[in-house]
Amino acid sequence: MTGQKVHSGAQVLVAIVAVLTALSVARSVLAPVAFGLFIIALVWPLQKILQTVLPRLGALAISVFVMGVGFLAFGSMIGWAFSRVGRWIVSDAARFQAFYDHIIVWLEGHGVAAAGVWSDTFNVSWILRFAQTITGRINSTVSFWLVVLVYVTLGLLEVNDFEKKLRNMRNRDVGNLLLQGSLATARKIRRYMIVRTWMSVVTGLLVWGFAKAVGLQLAEEWGLIAFSLNYIPFLGPLVATLFPTMFAMTQFSSWQAVVAVFICLNLIQFIVGSYIEPRIAGNSLSISPAMVLFSVFFWSYMWGIFGAFIGVPITIALLTFCELHPSSRWLAELLGSPEVSESG
């Protein structure tokens, strides 16, 4: 009996490793598919409403157009903000170099041996290489979105047919589970994105207002960057506070002012993310903070920045399907929202 348990445990471990390896190796295929399903869940209500008054292809054309305009506007704003910051870094590279040299002298004066390594790493050439890397990322992002657009277009055409197939499956239990899980997942993802978008807007406005009030340069850009990065829990807000703090170090001569900027920016992120957002979202979307952090790190490791963006929606989908089946409901109760355990 013990040997059988060990054998079954080894099989489960091998299966998990195989799945993780497949997710990593096939990221160029699976990541656009996952992102396409994510967007279909957001766009389908519009498509469904339009299909009541228009032919399917006409409704599809309008839905894809609205989606394209939305993503183009979002991408243009974010691209403008990051490009402005990048140009500002390049144009003021000498001031950054002088600032880093000052830190290196201070570190060496206090016996920090890593100062030489820091001097070789952070210099003008490093800044230029960083800007080139960002440009390359933008180019790869364009190709990624083109593939996603194809999946979304084809997927929106297949939603009704896919629903009929699930309803007509011979195994009614499996069909109902997939159908109910898909519908519940789509509703939760839409609500998640609505709440996340409003909180991102609030965060961006507060960061912009604070930067304006203290005289921090590129206030509009910091507001847009905070707005965009807020879609990535934990990591996004952290980066959104570190960048303007780094610029404050070169702008303000007082270290107390720099510390105050860093504290105030983090306070904004904390109030919005830890106090306002949970009260607006309620319990229907809440998962444990550790699970949120794990989702962001895990999917960003597997699929890069796109995985970090949809890591939490993927976790929401997995927990939603776990909640619907008795054998896996315990997992949803353990990692999901309080209302799951109450209703179970």
Q: How far apart are CA 193 and CA 198, in angstroms?
A: 8
158 contact partners, CB below 8 Å, separation of at least 6 = none
Position 328 pLDDT exceeds 50: yes
Token pair, residue 74, equals 């979002």
Lowest mean pLDDT among 34-38, 89-93, 188-192: 89-93
Q: What integer pLDDT is reported at residue 19 of this predicted model? A: 75
Angle between the N-to-C axes of helices 305-324 and 172-214, in degrees from 0 to 180, rounded to the nearest 10 = 140
Confidence (pTM) = 0.80
Q: What integer pLDDT is reported at residue 49 of this predicted model? A: 92
For the segment 319-324, the average pLDDT, to the nearest whole number, is 87
Position 35 pLDDT exceeds 50: yes
Percentage of residues in the chain having pLDDT higher than 90: 16
Q: What integer pLDDT is reported at residue 342 of this predicted model? A: 42
Cβ atoms of residues 291 and 315 within 8 Å: yes
pLDDT tens for each residue of 80-106 = 887 788 777 777 666 666 666 666 666
Position 74 pLDDT exceeds 80: yes
Read off the pLDDT band of 127 (50, 70, 90).
Answer: low
Lowest mean pLDDT among 13-27, 52-66, 114-128, 194-208: 114-128
Position 340 pLDDT exceeds 80: no
SS (H, E, C) 204-268: HHHHHHHHHHHCCCCHHHHHHHHHHHCCCCCHHHHHHHHHHHHHHHHHCCCHHHHHHHHHHHHHH
Q: Tell me how long the chain is.
A: 344
Q: How far apart are CA 271 and CA 205, in angstroms?
A: 14
266 contact partners, CB below 8 Å, separation of at least 6 = 241
Q: Is 246 exposed, middle or buried (0-12, 13-18, 19+ CB in 10 A)?
A: middle
Q: Around Cβ 120, how many Cβ atoms within 10 Å?
A: 8
Position 234 pLDDT exceeds 50: yes
Q: How far apart are CA 166 and CA 45, in angstroms?
A: 19
pLDDT tens for each residue of 137-177 = 555 576 788 888 889 999 998 888 888 888 888 888 888 88
| Average model confidence (pLDDT) across the chain | 79
Position 329 pLDDT exceeds 50: yes
Q: What integer pLDDT is reported at residue 42 of this predicted model? A: 92
Q: How far apart are CA 32 and CA 147, in angstroms?
A: 6
Question: Where would I find the H helices in 2-123?
Answer: 2-25, 27-51, 56-91, 93-109, 115-121
Of the segments 2-6, 160-164, 172-176, 201-205, which one has the largest average pLDDT value? 201-205
Q: What integer pLDDT is reported at residue 93 of this predicted model? A: 66
Angle between the N-to-C axes of helices 27-51 and 2-25, in degrees from 0 to 180, rounded to the nearest 10 = 80
Q: How far apart are CA 127 and CA 196, in angstroms?
A: 32
Instruction: Output phi, psi for 196, to 5 deg.
Output: -65, -35
Instruction: Output phi, psi for 160, to 5 deg.
Output: -65, -45
